[in-house]
Amino acid sequence: MAATRSTIKSLLRDGQPGSDVHVAGWVRTRRDSKQGFSFIELNDGSCMANLQIVVDAATPGYEDAIRRVTTGASLRIVGTLRESPGSKQRVELHASTFDVLGEADPAKYPLQKKGHSFEFLREIAHLRPRTNTFGAIARVRNCVSYSIHRFFQQRGFLYIHTPIITTSDCEGAGEMFQVTTLPLDRLAEGTPTKTVDYGHDFFGKRASLTVSGQLEGEIYATAVGPVYTFGPTFRAENSNTPRHLAEFWMVEPEMPFFDLDDNMALAEEFIKTIIQDALSECAEDMAFFNERIDKTVLATLTHILEHEFKRVSYTEAVDILLSAGRDWEYPVAWGHNLQAEHERFLTEQHFQQPIIVHDYPRTLKPFYMKCNDDGQTVRAMDVLVPRVGEIIGGSQREERLDVLLTRMGECNLDPAEYWWYGDLRRYGTVPHAGFGLGLERMLLLLTGMQNIRDVIPFPRTPRNADF
Ligand code: 4AD
Ligand code: MG
């Protein structure tokens, strides 16, 4: 076989006219000309653009093979790269041999026509990566993941693998998926109290899928310095919104000797770096999103890069909302959660840029956040961005044991179950802080996609775990 296989991306960028090349991929379209040539648009997923393949009808085996070259079929082609006379591409490939590796029956292949709805494509999540949009999302998601690692690695953070199965509820919202080997329904039936004895379960106590790696992150941060975890997290929130998944990816840095201001500065630098990397490393895909998905995406991202995130306290944010002179679906009052409509008003209309809301009422936030001296608020921060709302949640952590124990009491948590978390304060406690960025929320911001189900390969949502 002539030449080792090249990706279409490398050929379109660097391929030299006159060189012999070998490519393989999937047919997007085929057109036969009356002059005795067929033109095949081939895509291998390495980039958005297709490679144009020119097949001369005089090529051996042409008649038999070309019939099988239909949309979705897989091909291996060996040939010579030529300068393309067309203006659409720099080079095209003149085939000397081509093999159809796998056919795709035109009467059945679901991706014949362009312009399928995203709802329909969710039903064929095994084929949607072959579309332009989902190929682009896969490449940008990959780029962002790499960018996240690079950001922390360059700053000396250690990547820590925190457990997926856990017996602690970090966020305290009771939204955990249970992990068990017990036949729960049968067990409870046979007991006088009709309650399950987890002492007999696999871990000897009730266990769940993690909602956050933060608590374990704190263990390492108070031993080896700044760390980050990056992995799947699980929440059984029954909220069927375009911004919630039951399984999503979160990156959570945790920094010893950091206060809330340090935390906010790092979060801002982090988001801006991810945006910059996506724009420079996935320029073609980002241009596609701007053209086909949301015409404001590139302008929004550039605007974000050029402005400092505005920092507003929760109390100031509530005042702004109260004096906005608008009717809200959810009423605004100090002590209530900010709803999506409030977050969007603040970022899209009032400030028109990302904001960091800090110092929330302690009743709204988990037990681990550092209490302010006012007795009312905690050192929390949420980063809100236009169109998406909350993209990061974080805080300075409570490092004083006595205050932490009081907060656990307020949140109905048993300090005995968090004995190890208490030990971090008992022995060599230090001020520390961290945050969590939802990877899929970041991708919504970058791509302009509307629904979070479309920026993760295989979404898990209430009543849906197919593929
Ligand atoms: O604000 P959250 O709940 O914060 C934590 O879990 C902290 N333990 C983080 C930390 O300080 N280490 O979640 C953090 C982020 C949110 O801002 C959001 O981007 C994302 O995770 N997120 C979700 N993304 C998709 N689907 C869901 N159901 C999400 N819940 C949170
Ligand atoms: Mg949050």
* Chain segment 377-424, per-residue pLDDT in tens: 999 999 999 999 999 999 999 999 999 999 999 999 999 999 999 999
Q: How far apart are CA 119 and CA 123, in angstroms?
A: 7
Structure tokens belonging to residue 466: 């197919």
Give pLDDT tens digits for 296-311. 999 999 999 999 999 9
Backbone torsion region of residue 74, taken as left when φ is above 0, otherwise alpha when ψ lies between -120 and 50, otherwise beta? beta
Q: How far apart are CA 210 and CA 233, in angstroms?
A: 6
349: domain CATH number is: 3.30.930.10
Give pLDDT tens digits for 319-340. 999 999 999 999 999 999 999 9
Residues 96 and 147 in one domain: no
**Cβ–Cβ < 8 Å for 348, 310:** no
Q: How far apart are CA 372 and CA 313, in angstroms?
A: 13
Residues 79 and 152 in one domain: no
Q: Please report the beta strands in 192-301, taking only residues with DSSP state E, as ranges in sequence order.
A: 207-209, 227-234, 247-256
Cα 176 to ligand 1 centre (Å) = 14
Pairing of strands 20-32, 74-83: antiparallel
Cα 379 to ligand 2 centre (Å) = 13
Of 81-90, 357-366, 447-456, the range with the lowest mean pLDDT is: 81-90
Q: Which residues contact 33 (CB under 8 A, 6 or more apart)?
A: 39
Of 150, 444, 445, give the one whose Cα is nearest residue 303: 445
Residues 21 and 148 in one domain: no
Residues 84 and 135 in one domain: no
Residues 326 and 413 in one domain: yes
Angle at 440 between CA 285 and CA 210, to 5 degrees: 150
Provide mean pLDDT across the span 19-44: 96
| Parent domain of 437 | 128-176+211-454
Cα 37 to ligand 1 centre (Å) = 55
| Nearest atom (ligand 1) to Cα of 244 | 26
434 lines ligand 1 (CB under 6 A): yes
Residue ending a domain, choose from 84, 102, 120 = 102
Cα 168 to ligand 2 centre (Å) = 18
253 lines ligand 1 (CB under 6 A): no
Residues 319 and 375 in one domain: yes
252 lines ligand 1 (CB under 6 A): yes
**199 within some domain:** no
**116 within some domain:** no
What is the number of other CB atoms lying within 10 angstroms of the CB of residue 262? 15
**182 within some domain:** no
| Nearest atom (ligand 1) to Cα of 394 | 11
Q: How far apart are CA 205 and CA 211, in angstroms?
A: 18
Cα 250 to ligand 1 centre (Å) = 7
In sign, the C-alpha dihedral spanning 272, 274, 275, 281 is positive
Q: How far apart are CA 31 and CA 34, in angstroms?
A: 10
Q: How far apart are CA 414 and CA 407, in angstroms?
A: 11
Q: Is 111 exposed, middle or buried (0-12, 13-18, 19+ CB in 10 A)?
A: middle
Provide mean pLDDT across the span 41-61: 95
Of 244, 278, 251, give the one whose Cα is nearest residue 453: 244
pTM score, whole prediction: 0.95
360: pLDDT strictly greater than 90: yes
Structure tokens belonging to residue 158: 């250690």
Q: Which residue puts its alpha carbon closest to atom 25 of ligand 1? A: 244
Q: How far apart are CA 80 and CA 54, in angstroms?
A: 10
30: pLDDT strictly greater than 70: yes
Tell me the three state secondary structure of residue 359: strand
Of 249, 92, 45, give the one whose Cα is nearest residue 162: 249
15: domain CATH number is: 2.40.50.140
Cα 151 to ligand 2 centre (Å) = 22
**400 within some domain:** yes
Q: How far apart are CA 77 and CA 7, in angstroms?
A: 12
260 lines ligand 1 (CB under 6 A): no
Percent of the chain with pLDDT over 90: 84
| Nearest atom (ligand 1) to Cα of 217 | 12
13: pLDDT strictly greater than 70: yes
80: pLDDT strictly greater than 70: yes
435 lines ligand 1 (CB under 6 A): yes
Mean pLDDT, the chain, integer: 94
Q: Is 273 exposed, middle or buried (0-12, 13-18, 19+ CB in 10 A)?
A: middle
| Nearest atom (ligand 1) to Cα of 211 | 6
**Cβ–Cβ < 8 Å for 398, 407:** yes
377 lines ligand 1 (CB under 6 A): no
Q: Which residue puts its alpha carbon closest to atom 7 of ligand 1? A: 436
Cα 30 to ligand 2 centre (Å) = 49
440 lines ligand 1 (CB under 6 A): yes
| Nearest atom (ligand 1) to Cα of 435 | 11
Q: Which residues contact 308 (CB under 8 A, 6 or more apart)?
A: 268
Structure tokens belonging to residue 145: 């993941």
254: pLDDT strictly greater than 70: yes
| Nearest atom (ligand 1) to Cα of 214 | 12
Rg (CA), the chain: 27
Q: How far apart are CA 39 and CA 55, in angstroms?
A: 6
Lookup result for tokens 């005795």: 36
Residues 336 and 294 in one domain: yes
Cα 249 to ligand 1 centre (Å) = 9
Tell me the three state secondary structure of residue 55: strand
Pocket test for ligand 1, best of 370, 441, 443, 452 (most atoms within 8 A of CB): 441
Residues 61 and 20 in one domain: yes
Cα 436 to ligand 1 centre (Å) = 6
Residues 287 and 425 in one domain: yes
**198 within some domain:** no
112: pLDDT strictly greater than 90: no
Cα 166 to ligand 2 centre (Å) = 20
Backbone torsion region of residue 61, taken as left when φ is above 0, otherwise alpha when ψ lies between -120 and 50, otherwise beta? left
Q: Which residue puts its alpha carbon closest to atom 17 of ligand 1? A: 392
**23 within some domain:** yes
392 lines ligand 1 (CB under 6 A): yes
Provide mean pLDDT across the span 126-149: 97
Helices and strands: H and E segment counts in the chain: 14, 16
| Nearest atom (ligand 1) to Cα of 391 | 19
Residues 135 and 51 in one domain: no
pLDDT computed for residue 429 by the predictor? 98
Q: Which residues contact 69 (CB under 8 A, 6 or more apart)?
A: 27, 30, 38, 40, 75, 98, 100
Total structural domains in the chain?
Answer: 2
**330 within some domain:** yes
Residues 266 and 302 in one domain: yes
343 lines ligand 1 (CB under 6 A): no
Q: How far apart are CA 232 and CA 32, in angstroms?
A: 47
- Closest ligand to C-alpha of residue 436 is 1
Structure tokens belonging to residue 273: 């770096």
Cα 366 to ligand 2 centre (Å) = 10
Structure tokens belonging to residue 373: 């001296």
pLDDT band with cut points at 50, 70 and 90 for residue 185 = low
pLDDT band with cut points at 50, 70 and 90 for residue 2 = low
**38 within some domain:** yes
Residues 248 and 385 in one domain: yes
